[in-house]
Amino acid sequence: MLSGCSVSSLAARFAFFPPDPPTYALRKDEATGRLVASGVPRDNALDVLLLDTTRGTKVVAFYLRNPCARLTLLYSHGNAADLAQLYDLFVQLKVNLKVNLMGYDYSGYGASTGKNVKKIKKVKCPVLVIHGTDDDVVNWSHGNELWKLAREPYDPLWIKGGGHCNLELYPDFIRHLSKFIREMESVTTKMRLKKIRQSLEPTKTAYRANTATTTTFTTNCCCRIRVRRPSCNLSCSCCDALRKCFAFGAFKCPACCSCFKCCCCCGG
C-alpha cells in the first residue's frame, strides 16, 4: 500500500505535460537579425533569448522591458503551458507591477531542449512560491517542498481553491505579488543608500610612521598632531600630564599644552 506522499511523489514524475506541439517556434528576423517567436505579437519591448546551460541544452526566455521598472521579476510558470501562452499575462504583470519581467521555458517545454531539472537550491535571491490548494495536476505538496528547499524563501501564497492554470484569476495573486515587489524594492533601496553613504564618507588618512614609537590622532581643536613617545616611555615623573593626555585623548596643539613640551617631539 502506497502512502499519500509516495503516490504524490510518483505522480509528479509523470505530471509534466508541455504543450505538444509547442505553441510557438523561434526564427531570426531578416530585417533586424533579432530572434523572434512565432505566435507572439511583435513587441519592441520584448527580447527573445536563447540561453545555453551548463548541461549543453538551450533554454528559451522572454525578457519584457518596462522603462519605469526598478526591479526584474523572474517568473517560473506552471505546468502544461509555454511562453507564448503566457505572453499576455506577462504584459499585464509588467505594467501593473512596474517591473521588467523574465519568463523562461523549462527544458523540454516550448523551444527549450533537454529535460526538466529542479535546481531551486542554487537560486541566490528571494523566492516566492504561489500554488493552488486544489491543483489536480501537480499536488500542492510539491510547491510547499520547493518553498522549504529555497535558500531565501519569501512568504508563500497558497491560494485556497486554486487550480493548476487559473491562479491569476484570484485577487490574492496580484495582491501578494505586489507586496513582494514593493518589499524587494525597499530592500534594494536600502542597499543603494548604504553604498551611497559609504562612498560619501571622508577618507581618513593616517600618517605613515613607525607604529612602535608613534601615535597619530585627530583632535577637536585646530590641527592633527603626531606624537613620538619619549625615550623614558612615559615612566618619569615629569610625564604625568602627558600620560593623562594619552589616557583620555585630551590633546591640544603643542603650543597650548605644556605636557608636549616636557620630553617628547611633536609636530602638526
**Would you give the distance in Å from CA 164 to the centre of its chain?**
28
CB 58 within 8 A of CB 48: no
- Residue 82: per-residue pLDDT: 93
CB 131 within 8 A of CB 143: yes
CA 218/CA 206 separation, integer angstroms: 9
Give the DSSP per-residue string, 46-98.
EEEEEEE-TTS-EEEEEEE--TT-SSEEEEE--SS--HHHHHHHHHHHHHHHT
> Residue 173 in 3-state DSSP?
helix
- Residue 221: per-residue pLDDT: 43
Each residue's pLDDT tens digit in the chain (268 positions)? 333 344 444 444 555 678 889 999 999 999 999 999 998 999 999 999 999 988 889 999 999 999 999 999 999 988 778 999 999 999 999 999 999 999 999 988 999 997 665 577 888 889 999 999 999 888 899 899 989 999 999 999 999 999 988 899 999 999 999 999 999 888 888 887 787 788 887 655 444 444 444 444 444 444 444 555 556 666 666 666 666 655 555 444 444 444 444 444 444 4
pTM score of the predicted model: 0.59
What would the CATH number be for the domain defined by 4-185? 3.40.50
CA 209/CA 21 separation, integer angstroms: 75
- Residue 237: per-residue pLDDT: 64
- Residue 233: per-residue pLDDT: 63
- Residue 164: per-residue pLDDT: 85
Domain ranges of the chain: 4-185, 214-267
> Residue 121 in 3-state DSSP?
helix
